[in-house]
Amino acid sequence: MIDWNTIDTVLLDMDGTLLDLHFDNQFWQHYLPVRYAEHHQIDPAKALYELYQQFDAKKNSIEWYCTDYWSAVLAMDIPALKRELKHLIAVRPHATAFLDRLGERDAQRVLITNAHRDSVEIKLEATGIGNSVDRIISSHDFGVPKEHREFWDQLMEQISFSPARTLFIDDTESMLEAAKDYGIGHLLCIRQPDSTKAPRTDLRFPAIDSFKDLLPAP
């Protein structure tokens, strides 16, 4: 699928790409609504309705991904709540082996994520995945999420890479669209970001089931 002789840099998303999206889905869709209802002493159905109204209002903005923002708005310590569910954080199969093989080939490995630094730290503590990449960049460093052109302009200023010789892997197609518009030459999606849900069949970008399918030769 990939001619590794044409790749110098590999950009990788975190949640749903290197890590199983099950933790995040479970936290935002189930665990947080229950704890929110308990904290504010309201009906669980009402809690879910209130949360999703607020989530929808911030989609595609940096606040949507910001634990500081949601901690303030919801009057709850979001990072602390995430740590309560930390046991669900998991690396996707063969992701670490894939990253280590890239390192052996001297490819630049950069984790780029919309997750807030608080969330990144929790994920790194749980998985150690940071030991297998060369750099970690959160869109909060730039103040704009990956689906916006400004993110890519600032990324180019931060790291040296040739878009045409770069592979970007993400589980969200809007991110891949933004990368395509910027000129990233190689794009791959993740077919099954959440291991507890069925693989997707309606993707517009080439997709992989496992990083094992991508392992470059030693």
pLDDT number for residue 132: 97
Query: Can you tell me the mean pLDDT for 78-87?
Result: 97
Domain boundaries, the chain: 4-21+89-214, 23-87
> Would the pLDDT of 159 be above 90?
yes
Q: What percent of the chain has pLDDT over 70?
A: 100
Please give the model's pTM, rounded to 2 decimal places: 0.95
Looking at domain 4-21+89-214, its CATH architecture is: 3-Layer(aba) Sandwich (3.40)
pLDDT number for residue 217: 78
198 burial via Cβ count (<10 Å: 0-12, 13-18, 19+): exposed
Alpha-carbon distance 43 to 196, whole Å? 27
Helices 149-158 + 173-182 axis angle, to 10: 60
pLDDT number for residue 216: 85
Q: Which residues contact 175 (CB under 8 A, 6 or more apart)?
A: 13, 146, 147, 168
